[in-house]
Structure 1
Amino acid sequence: MEKSKVYFGNLRTTSTMNLLQKLEKLVKRAGIEEIDFKEKFVAIKIHFGEPGNLAYLRPNYSKVIVDLIKANGGKPFLTDCNTLYVGRRKNALEHLDAAYENGYNPFTTGCHVIIADGLKGTDEERVQVEGGEYVEEAKIGQAIMDADIFISMNHFKGHESTGFGGALKNIGMGCGSRAGKMEMHCSGKPTIGKERCVSCGACKRICAHDAISFDENKKAQINHDKCVGCGRCIGNCNFDAIRNSEYAANDILNKKIAEYSKAVLHGRPHFHISLVIDVSPCCDCHSENDVAIIPDVGMFASFDPVALDMACVDAANKQKAISTSYLGEKQHHTHDHFINTHPETNWEVCIDHAVKLGLGNKEYELIEI
């Protein structure tokens, strides 16, 4: 198999070339303008950052891509799906507030922000996963599936469940609706925390399988014999009373992320950009970020998300750990920064499964601009 091309630009600047100009040069050289954008809706998947976290990508980078797509006749929008966990991005209204607070709004980016799975995280399209071992139908945010073209902009960092978060993590987990995120994270069925239940009945109304009833205290309860584990009740509960605590093993989680990524990308043009900067040890979903574990590396772009992730992790592993960081303070048992940071993870599982699904190639040619 021919090696995939991954393009790289370092973070050095001159009086005639700033970082934003360098990003534009990078993606053009990588071939983004080979895509026919004219009159096409373009979903740009990005993590807006949980407020309090300052490691997320600055909105200035997304404006470069938005302006380039518009110049080529496209109709771009920035997008993400609601979170499964309790935080500032669990429904569309709070999610938009968080995005605007972190600088993602039409005035700074040049396009609109659309929360792909709707107000409560229940607007989804079910997509067949050809060759899926764990997922038959992925539950993807509707607006993402409605787009003609898909672009991912990824903040490359460590991750406590997957080793690192790059293109595949941003695509697979990030594009899942709330029910989809539950399917990836969990292997069981949801339960109700009765101390939080206010007896509003929203969960019962959304349940298509008549699995929810009320006990003598008017608290909701789930009959697991009837429940199919779709997770729609989680998205419909405004009081975070419904959760799933049966989390899948990290290897299974990684494989499900690869399968969700295939559901998102299959059958339409896609392109991927990763910035290996502010490489925090954990996800941008945290409302804080620890000091970076390695020095900043640069920006990468490719049509192949697998090769892109491989190039980023290889480049990151060539860096020396910052001695005062979480990684620097840990014992190093391997030459892999991300396994050393989170020893219970194995990021290669996601990569290898993505290759098996035909999403891309581990072998790549790195071309520096």
Structure 2
Amino acid sequence: MSASKVYFTDLRTSFNENLPQKLERLIKTAGIGQIDFTNKYVAIKIHFGEPGNLAYLRPNYAAVVVKVIKELGGKPFLTDCNTLYVGGRKNALDHLDTAYVNGFSPFSTGCHVIIADGLKGTDEELVPVEGGTYVKEAKIGRAIMDADVFITLSHFKGHESTGFGGALKNIGMGCGSRAGKMEMHSAGKPYVKQELCVGCGRCVKICAHDAPHIVDRKSSIDQNKCVGCGRCIGVCPTDAVRAAEDESNDILNCKIAEYSKAVVSGRPQFHISLVIDVSPYCDCHAENDVPIVPDVGMFASFDPVALDQACVDAVNQQPVMPGSHLAEMPQEHHDHFTDSSPATNWKSCLEHAEKIGVGTREYELIKI
């Protein structure tokens, strides 16, 4: 496979061009106009930010992408899927509240927000993964699969499980339904944290397989009956039902790559990553720490693998930010993401994604 083109611009501005205008020039120069958007539904996959976290991308950047797509004749919507964990985005109503509070309204961005996997994270489509080693059918939010064109707008940052979070993380993990997220994170089934359980029985009512049972006012889940759909996680009022999260980080990364293939295969795609506010951990945290490196710039490509590789390389060329989490860690690996989260192996995702045909790690960086 020949090298993919990745377009880059730094964050310098002038009286003649601000950052939103520079982002518009970047994505147009990178070729977004080559896609036929005419009367097409366009999913723009983004992270709306967990309440309390301020490192997520400003809605101003989303507004630029929406504007360009509308000019090209498309019908864009901003989208994400519900989370598996406790927080402000575990169902569609809370998720929409979070998106609006963080500024992602139709008035600020120019398009609507659709939570792709529905009210409780169960509205999914089973998508075959050709050549998949770990996943045969990915469970993807239905609205994302209903779209004609798929676009990502990613905040590139560190991650405590995958090493970094970029385009592939935004696609693979982000587009998974609740059951899909569970499949990526866990080799097992959900369990009940007994000290949090109040014995309300909601998990019993929602389960179609008679897996949860209440004994002495505490729920427990029969692992032989459970199919791992995750519905019990969504209805638990005390967040007592949890995913096992017992999968190794390398396999987690490989599953993310395979889920990414399910999402992007067979339709037009385009990817944008902003390497700013490079926090050490995911935007799913209800807080964000000091950036581990200075801001770098904005990147765009038709190839999400090449895009992620280019962003990693750019971050690793930056000095360590004084006073950050990374500055407190031993600099043993000459790799900022490995030094920041030593138990991770970010290369496993890109290597597997390249192996199964999502894209290539070879890229030509074109600066504008």
TM-score (structure 2 length as normaliser): 0.97
The 8 Å contact of residues 91 and 119 in structure 2, kept in 1 or not, is answered as yes
Q: Which moved more, 1:238-247 or 1:249-258?
A: 238-247
Instruction: Give 1:101-112 correspondences, 5 Å limit.
Output: 101-112=101-112
Partner of 1:95: 95
- Aligned residue for 2:161? 161
Letter in 2 for 1:25: R
Alignment of 1:265-284 (within 5 A): 265-284=264-283
Matches within 5 A, 1:1-369: 1-215=1-215, 217-369=216-368
Deviation readout 1:210-243 (Å, 9 max, x if unpaired): 323333x354332212222232322343432211
Q: What are the Cα deviations for residues 167-202 of structure 1, in whole angstroms up to 9, with x where unaligned?
A: 000100111111111111111111123444454544
CA distance in 1, matches of 2:99, 2:222: 37
Structure 2 letter corresponding to 1:345: T
For 1:203, what is the secondary structure of its paired residue?
Answer: helix
Q: Tell me, yes or no, if the aligned pair for 1:122 and 1:235 is still in contact at 8 Å.
A: no
Please give the TM-score of this superposition, normalised by the length of structure 1: 0.96
Once residues 104 and 296 of structure 2 are traced to their aligned partners in structure 1, the CA distance between those partners, rounded to angstroms, is: 24
Please report how far the alpha carbon of residue 204 of structure 1 lies from its aligned counterpart in structure 2 after TM superposition. 3.0
Q: Is the 8 A contact 2:3 2:360 kept in 1?
A: yes
Letter in 2 for 1:301: A
Q: Secondary structure at the match of 1:168?
A: helix
Q: Give deviations 1:227-267, integer Å, cap 9, x for gaps.
A: 22232322343432211234211001100100110111111
AA of the residue aligned to 1:77: F
CA distance in 2, matches of 1:239, 1:41: 37
In the TM superposition, what is the alpha-carbon distance from 1:282 to its structure 2 partner?
A: 0.6
Deviations 1:61-108 (A, max 9, x none): 000000111111111000111111111111111111111111111110
- Judge conservation of contact 1:122–1:236 (CA < 8 Å) in 2: no
Rounded to whole Å, the distance in 2 between the matches of 1:81 and 1:222 is: 25
Secondary structure, aligned partner of 1:126: strand
- Tell me the amino acid that sits aligned with residue 33 of structure 2: E
2:327 is paired with a residue whose SS is coil
Code of the aligned partner of 1:268: R
Tell me if the contact between 1:129 and 1:262 (Cα under 8 Å) persists in the aligned partners: yes
**Counterparts of 2:320 and 2:199 in 1: how far apart (Å)?**
51
Q: CA RMSD in A?
A: 1.4
Identify which range, 218-227 or 112-121, moves more after superposition.
218-227
**Which residue type is aligned with residue 137 of structure 1?**
E
Opposite residue 136 of structure 1, the aligned amino acid is K
Residues 287-319 of structure 1, C-alpha deviations (whole Å, 9 max, x = no match): 111111111110000000000000000011111
1:328 alignment partner, SS class:
helix
Structure 1: segments with no counterpart, 5+ residues: none
Question: Is the contact made by 1:172 and 1:258 (CA closer than 8 Å) also made in structure 2?
Answer: yes
For 1:193 and 1:3, how far apart are their aligned partners in 2?
48
Distance between the aligned counterparts of 2:242 and 2:324, measured in 1? Answer: 33
Tell me how far 1:153 sits from its aligned partner.
0.4
For 2:130 and 2:49, the matched residues in 1 are separated by 32
SS in 1 for 2:326: coil
Distance 1:79 1:140 in 2: 12
Q: How much does 1:54 deviate? A: 1.0
Residue 203 (structure 1) shift: 2.6
How far residue 121 of structure 1 moved from its aligned partner, in angstroms, is 1.0
Alpha-carbon distance in 2 for matches of 1:241, 1:290: 27
- Once residues 29 and 141 of structure 1 are traced to their aligned partners in structure 2, the CA distance between those partners, rounded to angstroms, is 31
Number of residue pairs the alignment of both structures matches: 368
